[in-house]
Amino acid sequence: MHVFASSRTFEVWRWGPGHTGLLLRSWVDNEEPRIEVLFKPADFVCLPSRLTGVDIAMVTDGDVWTTAQRVVGRDLKQCENLFVVTSEEMSGWVVGGSANGRTGPESGSREPMFDGWEARDPIRDIFTTNTTPH
């Protein structure tokens, strides 16, 4: 299932244990609003720190599924999803619960748009996945 795509450059902004999750943030573009992608939780990650363009899909089988389970060392749990993240340079993956995207104006703030609350104007949700396909 296709989740999200952007030609913008993103970098890993934050990754932490538990429900901190993995936060990808787009680079500043004076003509485009900032974009953030949050995988929460994100227990296993196979990505570089910078991605030129991203295409995110949720998969339930195939070679990447098999490889991810082999690297993880077990079958994925019912509450875990496999997200394939493809950029211009490579293809990687994230094992996590959900993927969510938000966009909003670049404020110069180092604080993420995902602050534990619903999106508030001028920040808006652009996608969310919270289903477990397998």
Taking alpha carbons only, the member of 98, 92, 107 closest to residue 125 is 98
Question: For the segment 2-55, what is each residue's pLDDT rounded down to a tens digit?
Answer: 999 999 999 999 998 767 899 999 988 778 899 999 999 998 999 999 999 999
Q: Mind listing the pLDDT tens digit for each residue in 98-117?
A: 999 999 987 666 788 988 88
Contacts of 4 (CB under 8 A, 6+ apart): 37, 54, 55, 56, 99, 101, 126, 127
pTM score, whole prediction: 0.90
Is 78:132 a contact under the CB 8 Å cutoff?
Answer: yes
Decide if 8 contacts 27 (C-beta within 8 A).
yes
Encode pLDDT of 117-134 as tens digits.
889 999 999 999 976 555
Look at residue 112 in the predicted model and tell me its pLDDT. Answer: 87
pLDDT at 29: 77
Spatial separation of the C-alpha atoms in residues 44 and 17, rounded to whole Å: 10
In contact, 32 and 8? CB cutoff 8 Å: yes
- Tokens 């996608």 belong to residue: 127
**Does residue 22 or residue 65 have the better pLDDT?**
22
Choose among 8, 13, 7, 15: nearest CA to 95: 15
Residue 90 has pLDDT above 90, yes or no: yes
